Amino acid sequence: MTRSRSTRDRIVRAAARLFLARSYQAVGVNEICTAAEVQKGSFYHFFPSKSDLAIAVIDHHAAALWDLLDTFESSSRGPANKVRATADVVGDIQGRLHGYFGRVVGCPLGNLAVELVAIDDAAGKHAAAALNKWERRVAGHCHDAYEVSQLRPEVDPDELAHQILAAMQGAILLAKVSDSAPDQIPKAMYQVIEGALQQKVAA
Question: Which residues would be at the binding site for a copy of itself (CB under 8 A)?
Answer: 21-23, 25-26, 105-106, 110, 113-115, 117-119, 124, 127-128, 131-132, 135, 159, 162-163, 165-171, 173-174, 176-179, 184, 188, 191-192, 195
| Rounded least distance, CB 51 to a copy of itself, Å | 14
How far apart are the C-alpha atoms of 178 and 106, rounded to whole Å? 12
User: Could you give phi then psi for residue 114, rounded to 5 degrees?
Assistant: -75, -30
Q: Which is nearer to a copy of itself, 122 or 177 (CB)?
A: 177
Q: Which is nearer to a copy of itself, 38 or 165 (CB)?
A: 165
| Rounded least distance, CB 15 to a copy of itself, Å | 15
| Rounded least distance, CB 147 to a copy of itself, Å | 22
| Rounded least distance, CB 3 to a copy of itself, Å | 34
Q: Which is nearer to a copy of itself, 16 or 114 (CB)?
A: 114
The dihedral built from the CA positions of residue 59, 176, 114 and 158, taken in this order, carries a sign that is positive
What does the DSSP assignment read for 148-184? TT-B-TT--HHHHHHHHHHHHHHHHHHHHHTT--TTH
| Rounded least distance, CB 7 to a copy of itself, Å | 28
Exposed, middle or buried by CB within 10 Å (0-12, 13-18, 19+), for 184? middle
Q: Among residues 134, 158, 161, which one has the least CA distance to residue 58?
A: 134
CB 142 within 8 A of CB 82: no
How big is the CA angle at 39 (ends 34 and 44), to the nearest 5 degrees? 110
Q: Which is nearer to a copy of itself, 83 or 171 (CB)?
A: 171
| Rounded least distance, CB 8 to a copy of itself, Å | 26
Q: Which is nearer to a copy of itself, 68 or 174 (CB)?
A: 174
Q: Which is nearer to a copy of itself, 56 or 130 (CB)?
A: 130
How far apart are the C-alpha atoms of 193 and 111, rounded to whole Å? 24
